[in-house]
Structure formats: C-alpha cells, structure tokens
Chain A
Amino acid sequence: MLKYIRAVALSSMLALTACGADPAPGPVEQIIVREPGAAPAVAVAATEAPASTLIADGKAAFANCSACHSLEQGAANGVGPNLYGIVGKNAGGVAGFAYSDALEASGIVWTAAELDSFIADPAGKIPGTTMVAGAIADPSKRQAVIAYIESTTAN
C-alpha cells in the first residue's frame, strides 16, 4: 500500500506546516445541564412512549409468536416454551421444555435487552438454538412485543 501510506504521510506533513490553522468547529449548541461534581437537579423520570399503545401493538404482533409460544400462566409449552414471566428468568429456565444445549449454555438472563437482541436474530445470538423461526427485524415491533410480554406478567 505504498501510495496510501505516502498519502497519509503527506497530509500529516502538510498539516504540520499549516500549524496554527483554524481549529475544528466547536459546538453549534451546548446545553450545560450541570458541572461535574455538582449535585444533580431533581431527577425526572424519562417520558416514554405511552405504554398502552405499545402494549396494544405488541399484542397484535405477538400473534405471529403464538404459533409456538403461550403467554398464559400455567399453559403448556408448545413448539417453544411458555413465555409467561420470562423476563428476569435464566435462559433455559422454563420447566419442562427441552432446550438446545446452546441456549442452556448461553448463561443469559432474559432482560428486555437480551430478548430484543435474541428476537432480532435468534440463531445469530445463540448459534445452535432451536428457535428457527419468528425473528422480528423491526426494532419498534420487537420493543412492542417485549412490552406486551412484560405486561402480561405484571398483571
């Protein structure tokens, strides 16, 4: 990569000779919330998308998942495990379901973030998983589905 290196070298040397050139642009807008070490202002909870819409969207989207997964407390496992209360459980933690070795060995605790990346690409996240269908590419749809799953447990 002779030419490339020379290009790098050249630009560097030119930059040297141009010492004192205008510095890179500063901020267009600078919001200083507080200085380091200063006590934080009273924390206000972040506003989030209205939960009810999200959950309704998730319920609709979960229709695709229900071919394999139940969300009813105590209902039997299907092709996939019952997902009631899945958030917070260890991967491979639903009683009576025959998990793949890969999923069981994954060591994952099913947080919303974990579920999100798993549903985005099950085999990519846990190569060897038996969940071969049902990936959801759309992040907002995943978020809705996870919110719905969480909501059923909370109730």
Chain B
Amino acid sequence: MIKLNVNGQAREVDADPATPILWIVRENLKMPGTKFGCGIAQCGACTVHLDGKPIRSCSTPVSAAEGKTITTIEGIAAEDGTLHKVQQAWIEAQVPQCGYCQSGQIMAATALLEKNPQPTDAQIDAAMAGNICRCGMYGRIRKAIKAAAGIDTAAKVEA
C-alpha cells in the first residue's frame, strides 16, 4: 500500500510504486480531470502539483509522491465550491475550446502565480511553454493569467 495525500485527503493505493501518478489519480482514485497527452512530459496535459510545484504526472512515479502532497485540478477550488481565481479568469477570458489540455494549463498557471504573483510576459511564456494547446488558445491563456494576477482585465464576455 502506498500512502498518499491527494487534494488534502489521505489515500492509500495498492499499486506498483513505479506507476506514474497520472494513472494512479485517473484509474485508482477515479479523478479523471488530469489528462493523458503524450506520456513523456512533452505536452503538460497531465500537470499536477507535488508539494505545490507543477510536475508532469505521466512521467513521475507514484513512489516519488509518498509523504508529499498531490494537488489535482479537482482540488484547487475552495471547499465551498468557489472557483480558484485562475479558473474564474479562464471563464471570463473564454479560454478553453476542446478543453482537453486545460486542466494542465490551469495547474501550471496556478503554480506560476503561487511562486510569482506578478509575472512578466516572458515569465508567463517560460512557465507555460511546457503546456501544448492544439486549439491554440495561447493568447487567451496569457490574458487570463494576467487577469488572475490583477495585471490586466480580460475582456468579459456576456453570460
């Protein structure tokens, strides 16, 4: 049994310690918000936080998470359901299209703002360059990150 802390809850899984965290959260813990994209840490769709830092869960064995805290897309809203400011900014800027990469994008963005609340454009690019979006919503991602950081107000689309 591997003891984990996922989104603030203690969890135990019976799995090969070499299993990537991605498959543990998706299959064993039934939290499918974290996505499989490439399996070799090239696309960022599987990004989760390990002790607050963004990691590529497809290439990080679950053994590396023992005694550490894993946070997934399912765990960043407040307990009362209030969305994280990055999630809110994502809606306001109408970022997602197909949406498949967005869990990873949002996890990368929340980690960036945690570490650097007022990132420059170059810092945003550097932090987000590991996350591919095939629908090409990079312009909106930049805008949403700045809005969440209070740097710029994203144009709001009427609900």
Contacts and interface: CB of A to CB of B under 8 A. Distances in A.
Say if the two chains contact directly (CB < 8 Å).
yes
Interface of A: 88, 90, 101-102, 105-109, 111, 113-114, 116-118, 120, 124-128
A117 B41 contact: yes
B111 A107 contact: yes
Chain B interface, >50% SS class:
mixed
B53 interface: yes
B33 interface: no
A107 B53 contact: yes
Contacts of B97: none
B127 interface: yes
Contact of B130 (A90, A101, A106, A120): A106
Nearest to A105: B127
Contacts of A120: 40
Contacts of A117: 40-42, 59
B129 A107 contact: no
B130 A116 contact: no
16 contacts: A101-B123, A105-B115, A107-B47, A107-B50, A107-B111, A108-B41, A108-B59, A109-B60, A109-B64, A113-B40, A114-B41, A114-B60, A117-B40, A120-B40, A126-B130, A128-B126
